Each structure stands twice: as structure tokens, then as C-alpha cells.
Structure 1
């Protein structure tokens, strides 16, 4: 089968399209013929050896997959060969076939196209877990989303509004912020041209924001914390800016705020029952037409490196998707 292979850590240009052996499932695993795989910012870090974990070389990147069940392990009962599914793997998705843990493989809703299904799990799973389980976002509170036009950011804007919050979207261009407005943002901040802390204060009448959703890091994190309300919750989602910020801890004391880590992948693996409940709620909202993943572009498998380059250059709004077979 064809797969994108990382044989040495480096930029997207170092990846190769190769023939590798088709996988076989363990007793609690599912082999999926991959139709589409979402591109996520962590993919750009994993191939460079810059992520929280380093897969053993060689490996295939890609986590968010959708496709058709080819084979199941002996203890798998909820799906069978021929079923259309979507799921999550730590890596291996940029390929024609992949092994998916049974507790991370879900029946695809009828009518949900494969590219949409492959755009759903990580973006909405991360954002819902962050806002509901880690941020305890309440109706009527104010949510600030940094990097709001990206995959997880746009999902956070959409979910925050659905959960009854006032949503302030922050991004780096007028075009990106217009997309955020389409997804429900009440207010927007262009943090490339505006003072982030001052605009937060202005938009909240000096109160500050209750929850900050931060998948960006870098130079935006400290002013976002300085713009928090008393007993706010700052959600550490990722570091798309490339720099891990060093936060003055006196700010947590002065604000009475919580700095909370969000690692959806570990949450999904460690507490599969709770993740299943979250996923079912997201599926219900999708079925009711309340969630609509934004597809930036679909790339063929052979052009996976171009998708990753576009992600690194911050040219992707919403989700980029690789068509695998």
C-alpha cells in the first residue's frame, strides 16, 4: 500500500511517498481503508521531531482519519468490514490503510462525507474537551479564542457560541476574522495590528475574559492572561507560534486564575468512556446542523508535503485534508 513516510526528522520536503506493508489488526483493533485524513498542526511538529513525543523512525504522520473498515480484531463488535467510520490514531493516517484502536473508531454518520469526517475528530474533540471538561465554560461567560481561524480555533469559536458564551475571536488578518464572524464570533481582534490586552479590556468593559483558548502560544499568551477576568481559566492547547511562552506566575495569583493544560489525545486514550460521551454529543450537534467543519482544501496523498507546508506558512483556514484512496 502507498503511504507518506518520515524516514528522518525534518521539513515536509523530506517526506517520501513509499510502498509499505499492509497492517493487520490486534484483537482490539480495526484496519481501515483510509479515504481521507485531516492535517493538524501537530503533524508539522512530529515530522521535525519537535512534538511532545517522537515516534520511532520510520513512521507515517496523520491522526484524523475517515474510511471503510477492511478487517477487525476478534474482540471488536461495534463495527464490521464494509462499515464507514472515522477515528483517531497517534500517527499513521497519511496512508491507504491504517490500524485504529477500537475505542477510537466510530461509525460515520450517514451523509457525512469522508473529508468532513476526517476534519472532525481532533478539531472538535480537542475544542469540546477544552471548553467543557477543562475550561468549565458557562453560558453567559466571555471566551477569547486565539488562532481563531485555524482548525481547532474555528471549532472553539463555533462550540463556544453553541454553549452560550460571548465569543471574541483573535487572528492575524481581516480575511481570517471574517471567517470567524461567519462561525459565530461576536467580536474580533486582529492581533497583528491591534494591542491584544487593550482590545480585550475595551471589548469587555474592563472586566476581562473568563476563558482563554490558546493553541498559539508565543507572544500572545502573556497579554491574553493579563486580559483575564478574576477566576478565569487559561487553556493551554498548543504552540502554533513555535515558541513556548514563559508566563510570570504572579499573574495567576493576581487574577486568581487557573492555567489548565489540554491534551485531547491522552484524554481520549486514558478516559475512552468520557471521550465517547463527548463524541456522541458532537455527533448529535452535527446531525442537527449546528456544526459545520470548514474545509480549506483537499490534497491528493502524493501532495501531502504541500498541505504541511501550507500549514506551516499559516495559509490554512479551517481544515486541510489529504485524500488517501
Structure 2
């Protein structure tokens, strides 16, 4: 089997090595998948730079999602899954042409579903669905502020919000991405590099009008978002992109924590607000059934043409460095997909 391993921290060109892996044997709840392709996530970039605390020690094979055909199964896996085309959550190990996955965290997919769209469902749409549909309900007429709105999770959040009549304010970093957000139907797209997004939002909507905020950045943006959050609103924190670009060091970690700030639950209670931290790896570790629930629901929405993942770029596995460079640059939109 072939696998793309991170052998050292650093740039995409120096970090990866294409190597032969050892034989994989599925455990009782696992399946072995012949991988057609896998998706990239920003957590992969953080892991490559040594900034993702949950990542294994180097050398390791990254990758959270795969799509391909089931070719072997463990003792507790139903026989009917054999030979089926699936999309699966892998919790590392996905950058390989053979990979193991827990059968409870996969879904069968139709042959006509493009590989890039399938991979988008596993982690990015799965994260979005967990926040918008599993943890609670969205309500028609609410306003949602979405950071990195042109990215994979941002695209998913936008579509899922629109399905339930939620208005979307989308943050992005380029004029091209503003155009992308307009095509997606984002009501108020903002290039945060050109304007102060909090001032622009308050001018357009008034103070404390954001019912939902989806923050994948943390750092200084978290404090700004709290001032925009409506009474009774919810702020979801599911990333730390503001930490990217710095070396792994205790002082940098502390500085990042200080910039993000600390919140008392008493102050949140007085405003009837909620802050929810989302880490899908922890969900996979402790409630694997939730991953499967979200994936099955998303495949059903795809089949009903209610969602349509956007694949912004596709690369062969031999060009993994270029794929990573694009994702890290902030220039990509939608899903970045890599195929064997």
C-alpha cells in the first residue's frame, strides 16, 4: 500500500514522503477501504506545522476522510457492506490508497456522487451538520455570522442555514471569495481584510443582532464576536486558524490563549448566551454513532439535491505539496480533493 506520511514539520514540500505502508487488518468494528481519493482539511495544515495537539507524533499519516470501496471487514461489521462504495471518517490515516475506518462512521454513497463531494460530506459538512442540526435547531429569520465562509465548512454552513431560512453574513479574505459568496446567496459578504467586519455588521444590522456565530479562527476575533452576539445567541468555536503561521512554542500558545480571552458562565447566563466548543475528533472518540448519524443524514440531503458541496480544486496524490500549499494560502474555496 502507498501512503503519504508527514516525516517532519514544516513546509508542504519538505514535510511529506510517499512511502510503502504495512499490511492493514480491520479490527472488529472496522472496514478496510480501497481508497479512490481523500479530502484535505485545515487541521491537516496545522498538524503538518506541528500545531495540532491531537495529531500523532511524526512520522504519521494524516487524513480524516476517504471515499472508496470496502474490501475487508471486522467480525462485528455486517456482511452486506462488503464491496460497497462508501465515504468514511478515518481519524488520521486517510492519505493512503488503503485505509481503515469504523463502520459506524461511514455511509454508503451512490456511484454518481463525485469523489470530492463525497469527501466534503465526511468532515466539513459533518462538522456543520453537527452544529446546525444535531446540537439544536435553527429558526427562520435568524442571522448567522460565518467565519471562513468560502471554505469547506463555511460553504456547508451556508447551505444548511439557507435550508432553514437563516440569513447569512459571510467573512472571507479576497474579492474573488466575495464573488463566490454572492453566488452562494450570502446576504452580506465581507472581505475582512478591507473593512472592520464588526463595525460593518453593526452598521448594517445594529448592535447584538447575530443569533448564531460560527468561529473557526479564535484569537482576537472571539472577543469581537462576543460583542456581536445577540441575547439568547450561540457562538460555536471549532477552530484556531489564528494560531497558524507561528512556530509551536509555549509562549505562542499562551499569547494565543490571552488574545482569545476567558469567559465567565455567569456573564453568559445574564445574556442568555451559549458558547459551544466543537471538536469532531472527540466526538469520534466518545460518540462514534453521532458521526454516522450526521453522514447518513447528509448523504440523504445530497440525494434529494438539497445540498451541493463545492469542490474548489482537485489534485493527484503525487501533487500533495501543491494541494497543501493551496489550502494553506487561504486562496481555496470549497473542498480540496486528492485522488490516487
| Fold agreement, TM-score > 0.5 | yes
TM-score band w.r.t. shorter chain: over 0.9
Mapped partners of 1:163, 1:78: distance in 2 = 37
CA separation of 1:125/1:41 partners in 2, compared to 1, >3 Å: closer, same or farther? same
Asked if structure 2 preserves the Cα contact closer than 8 Å seen for 1:135 and 1:211, the reply is no
Alignment correspondent of 1:76: 77
RMSD: 2.0
Structure 1 position 67, deviation (Å): 0.5
Asked if structure 1 preserves the Cα contact closer than 8 Å seen for 2:147 and 2:217, the reply is yes
TM-score w.r.t. structure 1 length? 0.93
Unpaired runs of 5+ in structure 1? none
Alignment correspondent of 2:233: 232
Mapped partners of 1:77, 1:271: distance in 2 = 20
Structure 1 position 31, deviation (Å): 0.6
Question: Between Structure 1 and Structure 2, how many residues are aligned?
Answer: 324
Residues 1:270 and 2:271 aligned together: no
Alignment correspondent of 1:100: 101
Structure 1 position 298, deviation (Å): 0.9
Q: Deviations over 1:144-195 (max 9, x none)?
A: 0011011111111111111221111111122112212222312112211112
1:43-192 mapped onto 2 (5 Å cutoff): 43-77=44-78, 79-134=80-135, 136-192=137-193
Q: Deviations over 1:251-274 (max 9, x none)?
A: 746744222101123224422334
Determine helix, strand or coil for the equivalent of 2:24: coil
Unpaired runs of 5+ in structure 2? 244-255
Determine helix, strand or coil for the equivalent of 1:220: helix
TM-score w.r.t. structure 2 length? 0.89
Mapped partners of 1:248, 1:80: distance in 2 = 46
Asked if structure 2 preserves the Cα contact closer than 8 Å seen for 1:135 and 1:233, the reply is no
Asked if structure 2 preserves the Cα contact closer than 8 Å seen for 1:5 and 1:61, the reply is yes
Asked if structure 1 preserves the Cα contact closer than 8 Å seen for 2:121 and 2:299, the reply is no
Structure 1 position 86, deviation (Å): 0.6
Mapped partners of 2:147, 2:192: distance in 1 = 9
Moved more, 249-258 or 2-11: 249-258
Q: Which has the higher helix share?
A: 2
